[in-house]
Amino acid sequence: MKYSIESLIDIVSSGKLPVLLDGDIQVILNSINDWPNPVESLDVFVRLLSQSIDSPLTQINIEKYIWGLDPKTNAWEKESLTQLIPLFSHYHDGATLDKLFSKIEKELEAFYEAT
């Protein structure tokens, strides 16, 4: 995943993306913004999520992980992960978050090739 956070912010700020794709990227950026540690790119974010959750990044596994977090000590992580859940409704069931991010990147590439 080659997109830095800065490049995603620039892409969203351009106002040129289709509404659904723009919304999905905004969800990711909001989630990254709430993550308790600095994140430089999508691949770093996926790696951090994988290390935290320690299982495939499916909606069910993420939700189970969220429920196990103590909001007193992990509020930002809980908030960050909760924001990602709606992305799963835009794609097929059983998908992993890293595959969703890859699909979003492919949609970005296709959009820019077409324009």
The answer to whether residue 48 scores a pLDDT higher than 60 is yes
pTM score: 0.91
The answer to whether residue 107 scores a pLDDT higher than 80 is yes
pLDDT digits (tens, 9 = 90+) for 53-98: 988 999 999 999 999 999 999 999 999 999 999 999 987 767 899 8
Q: What is the pLDDT of residue 3?
A: 84
Cα-based torsion angle of the residue sequence 32, 38, 42, 43 in order, rounded to the nearest 10 degrees: -140
